Amino acid sequence: MKTLPLLLTLASLSLFAADAPKSAPAEKAPAKAKAKAKAPNPAMAPIQDVAGLPRVLLIGDSISIGYTLPVRQELAGKANVHRIPTNGGPTKNGTANLAKWLGTGKWDVIHFNFGLHDLRHMDDGKRQVEPAEYEQNLRSLVADLKKTGAKVIFATTTPVPEGKLTPQRTFGDVAVYNDIALKVMKENDVAIDDLNAVITPTLAQHQNKADVHFNTEGSATLGKAVVKSINAALGK
């Protein structure tokens, strides 16, 4: 009978298939959300100077990032508006990186701010930079900025909403830190751009809920004030 050899052959093939190495499962394609790289913030893009125009440098945290593009647009054809290529963070970050941020080129105007990160509460409950150190750091920064020969402008720290924030900041601390900054700037004859006073009347419509940041209209409002202070420094 031919049936038995046929059965033996089929059994052999089954054993071979069972012993054969299995191919590795196909890797899952990464999720589209992860595959897409985060688009760079255009405010951080380096600019090419237009010959003959004054050079302006913006130094500051995320609030300054928000008004960088409005300031550039307002001053297009009037000034080359650069900014540091990062979030400036607290004053201790400024003292550590200022030389790198200034580079070797000549600046006509430097508009700067620190404070919002300094007064931020850390995990241990302390502020990232306590008031006495904040004053010391500001004095060091002002001395180095004035050495550039540029006209220096300090922007006051914008308001912090009351209530729970992430990361936590305390509403009343803004006045404390601004008072310290104003004292240092007045003693050193540094111009003041009072962004806190500019934005306070319209906080309800311009500041994001339970957040220190501003919407597009708020950043544009701040930008107009910054432009005004830069034009004053340039004598325009």
Q: How far apart are the C-alpha atoms of 131 and 179, rounded to whole Å? A: 10
**Helix-helix angle 131-146:173-187, to 10 degrees:** 30
16: its two tokens? 């071979």
Calpha distance 205→213 (Å, rounded): 12
**Ramachandran assignment for 103, one of left (phi > 0), alpha (psi -120 to 50 degrees), beta (any other):** left
> Class of 50-234 per CATH?
alpha beta
Q: Which of the four pLDDT bands, split at 50, 70 and 90, describes residue 40?
A: confident
Please report, as a single letter, which amino acid is at residue 69.
Answer: L
pTM for this structure?
0.82
> What pLDDT is attached to residue 166?
65
Please give the average per-residue pLDDT across 212-219, as a whole number. 92
The amino acid present at 100, given as its one-letter code, is K
CA 223 to chain centre: 15
Q: What angle do CA 178, 182, 183 make, to 5 degrees?
A: 120
pLDDT at 12 over 70: no
CB 65 within 8 A of CB 43: yes
- Give the integer Cα–Cα distance in Å for 159 and 88: 18
Confidence of residue 161 (pLDDT cuts 50, 70, 90): confident
